[in-house]
Amino acid sequence: MNSTELKIRDGIKRAMSVSKLRPQDSFLSYAGILPLDLPEGTRGLILPDAHIPAHHRRLFWAVMQFATDFKPHVNISIGDWSDIFGLTRHPKPLRTINSPQKELDESKRIWDELMYDTNALWGYIVLGNHEDRIYRFLQEFCPQIGGMVMPHNREPLNFHSLMGFTPEDNTTFLYGVDERGGFEGGLVLNNDLNLHHGTFVRPNPGASAQADMFRWQWSVGHGHTHRMGMSAVGKLRSYEFGHLVDRDHAYMSYAKKEFPNWAPGFATFRVHNGMVHVQPVPVMPLADENGHLRLSFVYDGKLYQESDR
């Protein structure tokens, strides 16, 4: 690790230590909007709604290859990393196998793989409305269990504990102010960019984040809509980061006809002159050498395409 990387590592640790996190929490979870002042040169990867295990596996292979090349210092999931389909109240398609524990296990496996492959210094998982299905299920159907705590850490059943994360992991989970998921937790990077799952849903791509931008009067980025778009008014910017789901997956049966404007994609950012500069990365079908359409994206002149490898 060179001197610049060491400076960034120390800066990220310092950003965590001066936040409102308590030392005894070891940065495992935070309720509310976490302010972070990331040092100059920090690179970050922003991953929108993946809905694991309904993620697009072939596209994820390309994203992982890109992440290994990009080498982000920080990985951020903007919400709905997991689908938690097993606890949804919506009707489930016939013969569709669902297991909440398997969903959680695969979600952790893929996150661990991302953190290991990129050698990232820290990871942040913003809870979305799908992770919040755990809380809603407990409160609505078995509130007595929802009020119990686990003996080893005196915490209620929650997303990060059920996934198997501990204070030794270099990942922080961002919950809402009442320790729920959904819409209230997030990050503010360098007092410049507010990253959260999303509150507004507008019919046109980019309009939801723009409404957030005008409401809060600061730059925002969010997921939730599965759409991709951006706008800028002066120094204020708004971003919707798209999605990484497989629309043909059984868990996504509601997506095909109701939301034709879903768009796959993700984003990167770099800190330069104290500001967070975001680069959306749209994903689109391109023909490969055999003429077959494959989901693809280009970054820094290099082509990445979906693969079964």
Domain ranges of the chain: 3-305
Residue range 228-232: mean pLDDT, rounded: 95
- Please tell me the CATH superfamily of domain 3-305, with its number: Metallo-dependent phosphatases (3.60.21.10)
* Band of pLDDT at residue 25, cut at 50, 70 and 90: very low
Residue 103 neighbours by CB distance under 10 Å: 24
pTM to 2 decimal places: 0.92
Cα–Cα distance measured from residue 73 to residue 70, given in angstroms and rounded to the nearest whole number:
9
Structure tokens at 250: 């059984």
Integer-rounded Cα radius of gyration of the chain = 19
* Secondary structure letter of residue 39 according to DSSP: P
* Band of pLDDT at residue 257, cut at 50, 70 and 90: low
Q: Residue 24 has what pLDDT? A: 46
* Band of pLDDT at residue 258, cut at 50, 70 and 90: low
Q: Residue 181 has what pLDDT? A: 65
What percent of the chain is modeled with pLDDT above 70?
A: 91
| Residue that wins the pLDDT comparison between 238 and 129 | 238
* Band of pLDDT at residue 190, cut at 50, 70 and 90: very high
Residue range 28-34: mean pLDDT, rounded: 86
Residue range 26-48: mean pLDDT, rounded: 89
Residue range 37-64: mean pLDDT, rounded: 95
pLDDT at 306 over 90: yes
Average pLDDT, the chain: 87
Query: What is the full DSSP assignment across 193-206?
Result: EEEES-S---SSTT
Task: Give the three-state DSSP class for 271.
Answer: strand
Task: Give the three-state DSSP class for 81.
Answer: coil
pLDDT at 12 over 90: no
Q: What share of the chain is helix, strand, coil (3-state, %, to 5)?
A: 30, 30, 40
pLDDT at 71 over 90: yes
* Band of pLDDT at residue 23, cut at 50, 70 and 90: very low
